[in-house]
Amino acid sequence: MKNIKVLGTGCSNCKNTIKLLEAVAQEKGVEIHVEKVEDIQDIMRYGIMSTPGVVIEGQIVHAGGVPSRQKVEGWLQG
């Protein structure tokens, strides 16, 4: 079970990021728990400057734009 946070104020790129995460997780049979962080003050605590950002187990792994499928597959690898 991986805890994933998606940081973003709710634009289409953020939604697409969540969709992509869920799709890849399902394909790989990895259990994930996705949490949306939409409050700007909370987002800024992670120190990113472009959204959507992705946080996995407390670590920022991505900021700005929908991540590539390859990247997502890498995160959900074992």
Partner 1 sequence: MNINTTAATRTWPDIHPKEFLAIAAALWVALYWALAPVSEALVAALPVDRASHLGGALQFFLYDTPKVLLLLTGIVFVMGMVNSAFTPERTRVLLAGRTEGVANVMAASLGVVTPFCSCSAVPLFIGFVQAGVPLGVTFSFLIAAPMVNEVALTLLFGLFGWRIALLYLGLGLSVAIVAGWVIGRLKMEAYLEDWVRDMPRIVARAEALRLTLSDRVEAGFAAVREIVGKVWPYILAGIAIGAAIHGYVPEAFMASFMGKDKWWAVPLAVIVGVPMYTNAAGVIPIVQALLAKGAALGTVLAFMMSVIALSFPEMVILRKVLKVRLIATFVAVVAAGILLVGYVFNAVL
Contact residues toward partner 1 (CB under 8 A) are 8-11, 13-14, 40-41, 43-44, 47-51, 64-66, 68, 70, 74, 77
Instruction: Considering the complex, state which of residue 21 and residue 67 has its C-beta at the smaller distance from partner 1.
Output: 67
Q: How many helices (H) and strands (E) does the chain have?
A: 3, 4
Closest to partner 1 by CB, 1 vs 70, is: 70
CB-based contact 61:54 (threshold 8 Å): yes
In angstroms, give the least distance from the CB of 31 to partner 1: 20
Beta partners for 5?
35, 55
